[in-house]
Amino acid sequence: MVFKKTDVCELFGIEYPIVQAPMGPFITTKLCAAVSNAGGLGIISHTGTFLYLKERDPDFYKQVHDFAPKLVESTLAMEEDMGVNTLEELRKVSKLTDKPFGVNVRVAREQPDAPYLIDAIIEEREKDPKLTENLKVVVTSAGSPNLYTQRLKDAGLIVVHVVPSVYHAQKSEKAGVDAVVASGHEAGGHVAWDPVHTSVLTPAVRKIVKVPVLSAGGWCDGKGLVAALALGAGAIYMGTRFIATKESDFAPGYKEAVLGGTERDTIVTAGTFGPIRVLKNKYAATLQELLDSVTGSFQGKFENPKIEDAKTNISWADSYKRGKTENAPVLTGEVQGLIDNLPTVKELIDGIMKEAEEIITKKLPSFIA
Ligand SMILES: Cc1cc2nc3c(=O)[nH]c(=O)nc-3n(C[C@H](O)[C@H](O)[C@H](O)COP(=O)(O)O)c2cc1C
């Protein structure tokens, strides 16, 4: 193997520069353990939204519920249906691997459980010596890096923040994060308002910050790893590719939808907060029709009550748990167009490293006269 450890590998204490991106609200427990066991870094997803708020601050929960009852009730029903419990997932992963792993907390304003979940994660980690040793990383996303970075670092955690722009990368570095994920617009799931793509964002972020950079959005193979390293990243951060693996916790129908989709079969539409990239299906078409039919600014349309209804009248568990992908949100990236097999996580990671090594040692030198 020609690869030396990158700055990201050194930071996390992992063998290969491959990180499994969190994919909340879906559970990624088995996937996380499999990725860490195969030499990458697995990340547990932030699966709840109101769970920890309800448990830890019933008065505030009531206020939030009174403000948006439909959203709160439909989200809690989904959490119950999927059986989510991020702390339970920490305990499970800790049993399944002796290698480092991480957990995601979405810190958006619309994520009222975030501060409670962060406290709960820190408490849980401090209770269990194995968790203290192996739960090394917290990835914060979808909000400001100023909110929790210091609290997490004081607790001994490595903090990584997900950024969609150079501006946010600088802000994150100033807040004291240990690394940033440059997340391009082709990514599955939550994407930024401004469509800046991975090939521009990664080198732009690399140029401006000193901390290690992970590159997200559109990666799935050894070619991508070599490209990301050339663009200045120290690791690739992949979501969609990892859905279609044997160990991934997603229902077979969800995996099939990813395998069957081309690079043109996704669309950016209204998420719970901000835009998300999903599969083009009946659910996405209905939402798009509504978005087209209501007036207002792009952001204002997302907050329209009709759109709110369409987003809350469906079940996220349908796609994730039952594999019913026709009329439910199927979060997936453009890279699905490149994915055509269902390997084990180890086969995938070993294959990416082998392909990258061949490109670096054989193909690229052949371009030099
Ligand atoms: C199903 C799915 C759910 C996601 N949920 C989250 C999430 O809860 N938090 C987050 O920070 N990013 C989330 N993302 C984004 C990923 O963490 C990652 O940035 C993205 O998948 C990378 O692009 P790729 O899908 O092209 O690999 C999600 C992505 C997918 C595909």
For position 9, what pLDDT does the model report? Answer: 98
For the segment 67-76, the average pLDDT, to the nearest whole number, is 84
From atom 1 of ligand 1, which residue's Cα is the shortest distance away? 331
Q: Is residue 366 part of a domain?
A: no
How far apart are the CA of 23 and the centre of ligand 1, in A?
A: 5
Structural domain includes residue 11: yes
- In a domain, residue 363? The reply is no
| In a domain? residue 368 | no
**Ligand 1 atom with least separation from CA of 142:** 11
Pocket mutation for ligand 1, best pick of 331, 335, 348, 352 (most atoms within 8 Å of C-beta) = 331
Give the Å distance between the CA of 365 and the centre of ligand 1: 34
The closest-lying atom of ligand 1 relative to the alpha carbon of residue 162 is 11
Confidence of residue 202 (pLDDT cuts 50, 70, 90): very high
Asked if the structure places residue 160 within a domain, the reply is: yes
pLDDT by residue (tens digit) across 271-315?
Answer: 877 889 999 999 999 988 888 887 766 666 666 778 877 777 778
Report which residue type is found at 187: A
Strand order in the sheet with 266-270: 189-190, 275-279, 266-270
Pairwise CA distance, residues 146 & 172, whole Å:
7
Residues with Cβ within 6 A of ligand 1? Answer: 21-24, 26, 45-46, 104, 106, 141-142, 162, 183, 186-190, 216-219, 238-241, 331-333, 335
- In the predicted model, what is the mean pLDDT of residues 234-250? 98
The alpha carbon of 333 and the centre of ligand 1 are apart by a number of angstroms equal to 8
Number of domain units in the chain? 1
Phi, psi angles (nearest 5°) of residue 187: -60, 155
CA nearest ligand 1 atom 29, residue: 189
Question: Taking residues 64-84, what's their average pLDDT?
Answer: 86
Lowest mean pLDDT: which of 63-72, 84-93, 206-215, 355-364? Answer: 63-72
pLDDT at 5: 97
CA distance 90 to 126: 12
| SS3 call for 351 | helix
CATH number of residue 293's parent domain = 3.20.20.70
pLDDT of residue 352: 98
Residue 365 located in a structural domain? no
Percent of the chain with pLDDT over 90: 77
pLDDT value of position 298 = 63
Q: What is the pLDDT of residue 308?
A: 78
Whether 367 is covered by a domain: the verdict is: no
Average pLDDT score over the chain: 93
Which of 75, 79, 240 is the pocket-test mutation for ligand 1 (most atoms within 8 Å of CB)?
A: 240
Residue whose CA is at the smallest distance from ligand 1 atom 30: 189
Q: Whose CA is nearest to atom 4 of ligand 1?
A: 23
Residue 56 has pLDDT above 90, yes or no: no
pLDDT for 292 equals: 85
- Partner residues linked to 182 by β-bridges: 163, 215
Residue-range definition of the domain harbouring residue 199: 7-358
Residue 163 maps to a domain = yes
Q: Is the dihedral of CA 137, 147, 201, 193 positive or negative?
A: positive
